[in-house]
Structure 1
Amino acid sequence: MFGFAFYYPIVMSFFWVSGGLYYYFRRERHAPPRTAPPALADAPMASILIPCFNEGEQVDETIAAALAQCYPDFEVIAINDGSSDDTADKLQALAERHERLRVIHLDRNMGKANALRMGALAARSEYLICIDGDALLDSYATHWMVWHLTSGPRVGAVTGNPRIRNRSSLLGRIQVGEFSSIIGMIKRAQRVYGRLFTVSGVITGFRRTALHRIGYWSDNMVTEDIDISWRLQMDHWDIRYEPNALCFILMPETLRGLWRQRLRWAQGGVEVMLRHTQDLLSWRKRRMWVVLCEYLFSVAWAYTMVLIIALWAIGLVVALPPALHIDTILPRWHGVVLAMVCLLQFAASIIIDRRYETRVGRNYYWMIWYPVAYWLIGMASTVVALPKALLKRRNTRAVWVSPDRGIR
C-alpha cells in the first residue's frame, strides 16, 4: 500500500512527461506558428456556440472575441439558458449590432448540456466550436479547429488549449502552471497513447454528425465534457488535441470556489466511470481500457493516501502493529524524490509552453505550493465524490451553478 502511494505519481509523471515531450518534438516543434495556421483548400462554415447563464459581467468581451475570428465564414450562436441577471438584454443588444450573432433564449435554467444541444440543432454548420460564456477565444482558434475536423472523416472532436486569465492571486498563478505542466501535458501524452480522458469543456470543436450518432450531450451528468468524450471514443470517433487553439478563461481564486470546482470534476469522472465501465468490457473498445485503468488507479491512490493519513492519526492515540504504524506524514527521502520528479515535469512543460507564452516561466516560481494546495484538494474531492456519485438520484438533470470566477 505504501509502495503504491509512492510509486504511482512517479510512474504517471514519467508517462506524462515522456508522452508530452514526444508529442512536442514530433508534432509541435516544427509546426507553423499560431498566427499562420495551415491553409484550408475549402474553408467551410463554422458555428461558434456559447451557452450563457448569468454571464452579464463578461458576456460583452466574450462575444467580441468570438466575433473577431480570423476565419472567412462563421456564425456565433449565444444560448441564454434562463439567466436571472441582465445577460438576456445584453445579448439581444449585441445581436442587433452584429449580423453574425444569433441569440436563443430559453425560459428557464435547463443546464449546459441542454443549452449546447439547442445551439447545435440551430447551427447552420457541420462544425461546432463550443466555448464557455466567460471565455475569450483566440482569433485563430476557429481556423485551427476546423483544420483538424476537416482533415479526416473519423475526427469527431478537437479540444483546445485553455489559458488562465486571472493571475493576481497565489491560486491563480498556481493554476497557470497546473494547466501547462499537468493538464496540457496529460492531454499531449494521452493523444500519443491514443485516447483522451476528456476534452476541455471550455473550448472544444465537434463534428455535428458525430454528436448526432451518439445522441448529443447528456443532461444528467455533472460534467458533460467527460461523458461526451467517452461516448465519442466508444463510438470509434477520434479526438485530437490542438495546443494552438487558445482560449483564455477565468478560474476560482478562493479555496471554497476551488473545492466546489474540483469536487464537480471528480464527481463527473466517477459518474462516467460508473455508467460506461460495463460497456467498455468488449474487445472492440479495448483502446479505452488505458483511460479507464488510469482513472481507477487515481481513485485508488486517493483512498490509499486517506488511509495512510488515518493510520497515522490513529497511531497517535492507539498502538498499531508495526506493519501499520506510520511515524510521520511529513516528507522524508521519498518526499524529496517526488519533489524532484515534479520539478522535472514543470521544467518539461516550460520547454513546451514557451511557444504559446514567452514569459510563462515566471509563474513556475509559485508551483512549489502545488502539492499542498492541489494534491490535497484533489485527493479529498475524489474521496468525497465517489459516495456522492453513488448516492445521486438517477436521471437528475444537471443545471447551472454559477462558478467562482476569481477576484474581480
Structure 2
Amino acid sequence: MSWFDVLNATLFMYPALMAVYWTIAAGYYYFFIEGKLQEPEFARMNMADVPMVSIMIPCYNEADNLDDAIPYLLKLKYPKFELIFINDGSKDATGEIIDRWAQKDNRIVALHQENAGKASALNHGLTVAKGKYVGCIDGDAVLDYHAVDYMVQALESNPQYGAVTGNPRVRNRSTILGCLQTSEFSSIIGLIKRAQSVMGTIFTVSGVCCLFKAEAMQKIGGWSTNMITEDIDVSWKLQTAGYNIVYEPRALCWTLMPETISGLFKQRLRWAQGGAETILKYFPVVWRFKNRRLWPMYLEYFVTAIWAYALIAVLCINTYLQITQGTFDVSAFRVLMTVLFFSFFWQYMFSLYIDSRYEKGLFRYSLYCIWYPYVYWLLNMLTLVFGIPKAIFRNKSKLAVWTSPDRGV
C-alpha cells in the first residue's frame, strides 16, 4: 500500500473516527452526568430566594414572528424573569409591536437603537438587565416552558460555569431540508455538545438559546460587536477568561431554520467564517497553560480544517487518475464507504435513543438521520474551504450587522 493509499484511507475515515469518538464521549455524558440530573425546584422556593433572570431578545425585522413568540415566553414556568426586547433599527413594525406588548405586561422591557448588529443589541440589553443571569434567544424562538428552570439550575450547580447552552430544535419540517436539519440537531449537534461537555468546554453556545452569569459578562466586557458570529466569540471569550460552559439538553428551544439549499449554505458559510474568525482571534491566548483544557478542542478545529482542504485535493487527484489512467482502486473505496456507513449508523441509532427522551417521535426521521452525516461533512468541507479565507480577509474594524435570514418556506 502506497503512502497515497494511506492518505486516501485516512481522509475518508476521519468522519468515521469522529462519529465513534462523539458517540462514546456523548454516551459517557448521558449515562454518568445527564442521567443523574435532578428536577429544579424554583417554583416551590420563596420568591426572594429565586435568582432573577433577564431574557434578552435582539430583534431585526421580526414583525412576522413576535406576536406568535411573545405569548409563549410570557407563559414560562420560571417564577422570576423579565423579557428585554431590543429593536435594532428594524425597517418593519418590530418597534411598534414590542412597545405594544411592553404596555400590556410589566415583565416586558422595550429598547430601541440604530442598526448596529446583534452583539450591540445584546450589550444594550445588558446595561438595563436586572437579572443575576442574562439569557439570549432569537425573535422567532419558542422556549419550552421549563427551559429557563433547567438552565438556571445548571449555572447554580457550579460556580465555575459562566454560561449554559440549551437544546435547539427545528420548528419547520415541511421540506426534506427541514427534516434533515431535525436529524442534524439530534444525530450531530447534540452528540458533539455532550462530547465536549465531558471536557468542560464547548466550541460554541447556541445563540438561539443560552444563559450567562451577568457578572461574568460584565467582567469580559460583553459581546464583541465586530465578530460575524457573536455566539462563537463569546464562548471563547468566556472560556479563555477562566469560565466553563455546560450543555443542558433538557432546555428545549424551537426555532425556524433554512429550508432552501441557498439559505442553508449561506447560514453554514457564516458559521464557518465566524468559527475561523474566532479561532484566529484567540490564537495568542489559547496556548497559555491556564487554557490547556481548550487545547484538544482547538487542535480538533485545525485538524478538521486541514482535512477539508486535503480531501478536496485528493478527490481531484483521484478523479484525474481515474480519467487518465484508470488506476483508482474502486474496491478499496467500497470498503471505506462500508466502514463509514456503519459508523454513521451507530451514531444515528444512539443519538435518536438519547434525544427521544426529550422529543417523542424522533424515529420517524430515521430515514433522514442515516443520510444526514454525509450531508453534514460535505457542508462542513465546503463551508470551511470558503469560510476560512473570508475570515482572514474580512475587515474586522466594521460592525457585524444583520442579514435577513432564510426561515423556511
Q: Is 1:236 the counterpart of 2:242 in the alignment?
A: yes
Contact 2:168 2:253 in 1 (8 A): yes
Contact 2:344 2:370 in 1 (8 A): no
Question: So what's the TM-score if we normalise by structure 2?
Answer: 0.93
The CA distance in 2 between the partners of 1:318 and 1:37, in whole Å, is 69
Determine the structure 2 residue equivalent to 1:214. 220
**How do 1:264-303 residues align onto structure 2 when only pairs under 5 Å count?**
264-303=270-309
Determine the structure 1 residue equivalent to 2:385. 383
Give, as a single letter, the amino acid of the residue that structure 2 aligns with 1:402.
S
Secondary structure, aligned partner of 1:150: helix
Report the Cα offset of residue 221 of structure 1: 0.8
Give, as a single letter, the amino acid of the residue that structure 2 aligns with 1:3.
A
Q: Is 1:202 the counterpart of 2:204 in the alignment?
A: no
Report the Cα offset of residue 371 of structure 1: 4.2
**How do 1:299-314 residues align onto structure 2 when only pairs under 5 Å count?**
299-314=305-320
Report the Cα offset of residue 401 of structure 1: 0.5
Report the Cα offset of residue 378 of structure 1: 2.0
**8-17 or 96-105: bigger deviation:** 8-17
Aligned residues: 401
Distance verdict in 2 for CA 1:206–1:338, change over 3 Å: same
Distance verdict in 2 for CA 1:370–1:152, change over 3 Å: closer
Q: Is 1:104 the counterpart of 2:104 in the alignment?
A: no
Report the Cα offset of residue 394 of structure 1: 2.8
Report the Cα offset of residue 29 of structure 1: 2.8
Unpaired runs of 5+ residues, structure 1, are: none
Aligned match of 2:187 in 181, 205, 210?
Answer: 181
Please, what is the CA RMSD of the aligned residues? 2.0
Give, as a single letter, the amino acid of the residue that structure 2 aligns with 1:123.
A
**213-222 or 389-398: bigger deviation:** 389-398
Secondary structure, aligned partner of 1:357: coil
Q: Is 1:259 the counterpart of 2:265 in the alignment?
A: yes
Contact 1:48 1:131 in 2 (8 A): yes
Q: Is 1:373 the counterpart of 2:386 in the alignment?
A: no
Report the Cα offset of residue 101 of structure 1: 0.5
Determine the structure 2 residue equivalent to 1:51. 58
Q: Is 1:7 the counterpart of 2:9 in the alignment?
A: no
Q: Is 1:74 the counterpart of 2:81 in the alignment?
A: yes
Secondary structure, aligned partner of 2:82: strand
Report the Cα offset of residue 92 of structure 1: 1.2
Unpaired runs of 5+ residues, structure 2, are: 1-6
The CA distance in 2 between the partners of 1:299 and 1:2, in whole Å, is 16
Distance verdict in 2 for CA 1:308–1:371, change over 3 Å: farther
Determine the structure 1 residue equivalent to 2:364. 362
Report the Cα offset of residue 317 of structure 1: 5.5
Q: State the Cα deviation string for residues 90-121 of structure 1 (Å, max 9, x = none).
A: 11111111111010011x22110001111111
Give, as a single letter, the amino acid of the residue that structure 2 aligns with 1:267.
Q
Contact 1:221 1:268 in 2 (8 A): yes
Report the Cα offset of residue 39 of structure 1: 6.5
Determine the structure 2 residue equivalent to 1:89. 96
More helix by share: 2
* Percent identical residues: 44
The CA distance in 1 between the partners of 2:323 and 2:356, in whole Å, is 50
Q: State the Cα deviation string for residues 143-186 of structure 1 (Å, max 9, x = none).
A: 11111222232221000000111111111111111101100011
Report the Cα offset of residue 348 of structure 1: 0.6
Q: Is 1:333 the counterpart of 2:352 in the alignment?
A: no
Report the Cα offset of residue 326 of structure 1: 4.1
Q: Is 1:138 the counterpart of 2:140 in the alignment?
A: no
The CA distance in 2 between the partners of 1:194 and 1:185, in whole Å, is 14
Contact 1:19 1:193 in 2 (8 A): no
The CA distance in 1 between the partners of 2:134 and 2:69, in whole Å, is 17
The CA distance in 2 between the partners of 1:368 and 1:335, in whole Å, is 13
Report the Cα offset of residue 395 of structure 1: 1.7
